Copies of this chain bind each other. A is one copy, B any other.
Amino acid sequence: MTTMTWDRTGYRINGRPEFLISGEFHYFRVPPADWRRRLELFKQGGGNCVATYVPWAWHEPEEGTFLFGDRPERDLEGFLKLCRELELFVIARPGPYEYSEMVYHGLPEWLVKGHPEMHAVGMDGKRRWQAAMSYLHPTFLAKTRNWFAAVCPVLAKYTVSRGGPIVFAQFDNEIIGIHEWFGGWDYHPVTMGFGKADGRYAKFLKTRYTDIAALNRHYGTNFLDFASILPHEPAAKTIEERRRARDYHDFYLDTIAEYCATLVDWMREFGIDCDTCHNCIAPANHVNFRNWKSLATNCIVGVDHYYALGMDWEQNNPTPKYAVRMFVEMEMVRALGWPGSVYEMPGGSCSDFPPITPEDAHCCYMLHTAYGMKGLNYYVFTGGPNLPEIGGMTAEYDYQAAISARGEVRPLYHTQAEYHRFLHDNAWLAGSERVADMHVGLDWTTFLKTGFTSRQDDMVADGEAVQLLHKGFLITAHCASRSPNLIDITRGELPTDLPIFIPAAACMAADIQRRLIAFAQHGGRLLLAPVLPHLDEQFRPCTILRDFLGATPPKLRLRSENLAAVCVGPVSPHATIGDIWEMPAPAGATVIATEKFSGATIGWKQGNVIWLGIQWVHAFNEELTAMRWLLDQLGAPPPAVDCNNPNVWTSLRTDGKQSMLFAMNLFSAPMACRIRVKQFDTGEIKLAPMEVRTFLIP
């Protein structure tokens, strides 16, 4: 076999940049007699890897009885040997959780039914749904270790270092999902150690606060010791409750990290020596992994990017709103140091309606490529009969996949093959980067699940900053033919070559505020909206950035029906969908935005820094002009791409030698446009619905 390496720019096979093209292939569902034909079809279609769950429930049907070869559908080694023979890499995902529309999400029934004591619980003591376990519960860990002790040695024999096909071993799946989907975080008293001086929670708090008096000051409480502290659930109201909620949030993520590290340790102990990986639930769950040092060096994190899994999904096809979410995900993964990877790329859908059409799917794949995806795994490439013992949903696990449950080749197969030909023909894209002409700053804490902050009084919640990013800056930027890179403002040196737009909430760590001040002092150009932070991430007063700018607290100015219209520079007044905030310009600053009816100041420029009191939501073409004008004020370079139709979005990728322009029509109707990149000019072109057209630029 060959080697597979990776860094933030992409994957390398034998040192050469290549796309990872994987397809989910469940040996336990696909009829074994058809394994070879379907795998060969995938390989012929341009794939180089398959991924599979290795379901605990399937291989340990009774406790202590591990079955890996009693029937062909359990012949894991046979499957791995076949993949080796066919020179397909393998991503092995032994759980403990799989989900995969299986009964109990892939856990054995004997485990779930026999051990109610380890089910996750809420703060009210009520159990979450029955397959939601408390990850670190000693019983769950002990049973999982038994499973890993049985399955990992089987997998270990087939890692790449041993001439096998396995390049990545995934621990668990879509971590936290099982809690979040079924009621919320886990507050299991045994696992978390509530009420005990040496309990995990007490120890966490003691490390954070050292003495109980400090904690009581912070919480506004009178606890006698760390052991007696119970967390406050999200939906906290007061600052003190928010602090307790956020502490538990940090603690909860620590327990997840410990769980992940434990699983990885066991994988290593039982012989698995390839890199590990994890498939995160959207949105932005991968941010949780950013500080998990023990995993970071040889662990790669990807994401799930479905656009429609049923009728309750907002869209039936990739839309601009979907594209922006995917853009953010790809940018975050890149900023965190991983190659853009989608470990569940829509290869169908778990329901039959709405349909996943080849045209929509192709658009989805191409827009990901435009935004920097370097590796993907179709979920699923093919299914099969749904094992009656462990399969939920339907008699066949068909998934509208490229190869049907019964083995027929569907049009989607040819679409995927065509897409793979594009990737192979343009292999240089595997090492390419997107050309940016502005920066958007990311404060990771903003993106963590933030049920514990909400709009209260004049306090802008983290979630609102995320909204401003998705529905404001980024939609406008894409429509205005600007190309932002998202950059990590929490560490490393901030590049001063391009202005940074920052969606700012009430809270921002003191350290980040200081970094932004230093950035501005060194010539960095900055725009913050809709407020300036006045608290740190632990909700302590912290106005160093505001003080640096000489600013006063912004005041929420409620939009009184249609009475608010914003005037940004010379741009003609227009209504805004979001709230607006007013604040007089500090000494030395220039007013750059006002509200038309009241004349209130809602934006000013102080040195290199613009504050804009608009909870930006894209609605009008005037906003395109406003963004361009604001970028001009901050001395941004001209746009990398000039497209004359705001509804055709573009991306320009380069490896330094050649470039490729992606032009995307994410609507159900044709779109005409003309695009220029320096000397290059597409002329008048018309894109079909869902068409992503590429242009090589020498």
**A362 to nearest B CB, angstroms?**
9
Judge whether A670 is part of the interface by a CB distance below 8 angstroms.
yes
Cα distance, A175 to B234, chains bound together (Å): 38
**A563 to nearest B CB, angstroms?**
6
Cα distance, A541 to B311, chains bound together (Å): 35
Judge whether A632 is part of the interface by a CB distance below 8 angstroms.
no
**A147 to nearest B CB, angstroms?**
20
Residues of B within 8 Å of A575, CB to CB, are 101, 392-394
**A174 to nearest B CB, angstroms?**
14
Judge whether A354 is part of the interface by a CB distance below 8 angstroms.
yes
One digit per residue, 1 when the CB lies within 8 angstroms of any chain B CB and 0 when it does not, for chain A 101-115 equals: 111110000000000
Q: Which of B359, B563, B618 is A103 in contact with, Cβ under 8 Å?
A: B563
**A306 to nearest B CB, angstroms?**
15
Residue of B nearest to A479 (CB): B353
Copy tally for this chain in the complex stands at 2
Q: Which of B619, B667, B671 is A351 in contact with, Cβ under 8 Å?
A: B619
Q: Which of B182, B351, B357, B622 is A620 in contact with, Cβ under 8 Å?
A: B351
Q: Is the CB of A577 within 8 A of B310?
A: yes
One digit per residue, 1 when the CB lies within 8 angstroms of any chain B CB and 0 when it does not, for chain A 77-91 equals: 000000000000000
**A113 to nearest B CB, angstroms?**
11
**A379 to nearest B CB, angstroms?**
17
Q: Which of B471, B562, B646 is A102 in contact with, Cβ under 8 Å?
A: B562
Q: Given A354-B320, A619-B352, answer yes or no on A669-B690 (Cβ-Cβ < 8 Å).
A: yes
Count chain A residues whose beta carbon lies closer than 8 angstroms to a beta carbon of B.
Answer: 60
Q: Is the CB of A394 within 8 A of B573?
A: yes
**A616 to nearest B CB, angstroms?**
12
Residues of B within 8 Å of A352, CB to CB, are 619-621, 646
Select the residue from A103, A355, A358, A689 with max chain B CB neighbours within 10 A: A689
Judge whether A555 is part of the interface by a CB distance below 8 angstroms.
no
Q: Is the CB of A670 within 8 A of B359?
A: yes
Q: Which of B129, B319, B618, B690 is A561 in contact with, Cβ under 8 Å?
A: B129
One digit per residue, 1 when the CB lies within 8 angstroms of any chain B CB and 0 when it does not, for chain A 549-589 equals: 00000000000111101000000111101000000000000
Residues of B within 8 Å of A198, CB to CB, are none
One digit per residue, 1 when the CB lies within 8 angstroms of any chain B CB and 0 when it does not, for chain A 404-438 equals: 00000000000000000000000000000000000
Residue of B nearest to A178 (CB): B561
Q: Is the CB of B620 within 8 A of A572?
A: no
Residue of B nearest to A105 (CB): B561
Judge whether A157 is part of the interface by a CB distance below 8 angstroms.
no
Q: Given A355-B647, A561-B129, A668-B667, answer yes or no on A574-B394 (Cβ-Cβ < 8 Å).
A: yes
Cα distance, A560 to B109, chains bound together (Å): 13
- Main SS of the interface on chain A? loop
Q: Which of B311, B471, B560, B669 is A475 in contact with, Cβ under 8 Å?
A: B311
Residue of B nearest to A672 (CB): B411
Q: Is the CB of B619 within 8 A of A562?
A: no
Judge whether A317 is part of the interface by a CB distance below 8 angstroms.
yes
Select the residue from A101, A129, A358, A667 with max chain B CB neighbours within 10 A: A667
Q: Is the CB of A562 within 8 A of B392?
A: yes
Cα distance, A671 to B561, chains bound together (Å): 43
Cα distance, A692 to B507, chains bound together (Å): 51
Judge whether A131 is part of the interface by a CB distance below 8 angstroms.
yes
Residues of B within 8 Å of A393, CB to CB, are 562, 565, 574-575, 620
Q: Which of B353, B562, B646 is A353 in contact with, Cβ under 8 Å?
A: B646
**A336 to nearest B CB, angstroms?**
27
Cα distance, A572 to B388, chains bound together (Å): 12
**A36 to nearest B CB, angstroms?**
28
Residue of B nearest to A319 (CB): B316
Judge whether A24 is part of the interface by a CB distance below 8 angstroms.
no
**A640 to nearest B CB, angstroms?**
21
Q: Is the CB of A354 within 8 A of B561?
A: no
**A404 to nearest B CB, angstroms?**
12
What are the 6 closest A-B residue pairs judged by CB atoms, nearest first?
A392-B562, A357-B669, A359-B669, A668-B668, A351-B619, A317-B668
- New contact pairs (18) apart from A316-B668, A392-B562, A667-B668, CB-CB < 8 Å: A103-B563, A104-B562, A104-B563, A311-B618, A314-B315, A316-B320, A317-B667, A352-B619, A352-B646, A353-B646, A354-B667, A393-B562, A393-B620, A394-B574, A394-B575, A394-B620, A668-B690, A689-B689
- Interchain residue pairs with CB less than 8 A apart (8): A317-B669, A353-B479, A357-B670, A359-B669, A392-B563, A393-B574, A394-B573, A668-B689
Which residues on A are within 8 Å of B, measured CB to CB?
101-105, 129-131, 182, 310-312, 314-317, 319-321, 351-355, 357-360, 392-395, 471, 475, 479, 560-563, 565, 572-575, 577, 617-622, 646-647, 667-671, 689-690
